[in-house]
Homo-oligomer: A and B are copies of this chain.
Amino acid sequence: MADQLSQLFAALADPTRRDMVARLAVADATVGQLAEPYDVSLQAVSKHLKVLESAGLVTRGRAAQTRPVHLEAKVFDLMTKWIERYQQQAEERYQRLDAVLDAMNGPADGTVQTDPQEGTAS
């Protein structure tokens, strides 16, 4: 439905799903094993898994009656790449703003902070 990045963020926005991911990072598990700690029905867990699966975070095999769930850790990269890009951009901008303020504070008193005239507005 939505782009994968949206699905990834949405999938991890739920504490239960985050906990499932955390446990799957340790070991693969069946649906029943995953459901056991939570106080919800097996069907609810199955739905959560469907969300994780369609986000690409998880794959399911089949062994006997059980459907072992496996974490696909590499898709995390999509999120970290996105985050780091804009985090870094904001960081750099902050550094530049700092430099501007330094330049303004240098020749003056040093306590001035109320006139951050912004030249390039869009």
Instruction: List residues of A whose CB falls within 8 A of some B CB.
Output: 2-3, 5-7, 9-10, 12-15, 18, 21-22, 24-29, 33, 71, 73, 76, 79-80, 82-84, 86-87, 89-91, 93-94, 118, 120-122
Contact = CB atoms under 8 A, between A and B. Distances in A.
21 contacts: A2-B15, A5-B18, A6-B14, A18-B82, A21-B86, A25-B87, A25-B89, A25-B93, A26-B89, A26-B121, A27-B121, A29-B122, A33-B122, A73-B87, A73-B91, A73-B94, A76-B84, A76-B86, A76-B87, A80-B80, A80-B83
Number of copies: 2
Q: What does DSSP make chain A's interface, helix, strand, loop or mixed?
A: helix
Contact of A6 (B13, B73, B82): B13
A113 to B, nearest CB: 13
Contacts of A86: 21-22, 25, 71, 73, 76
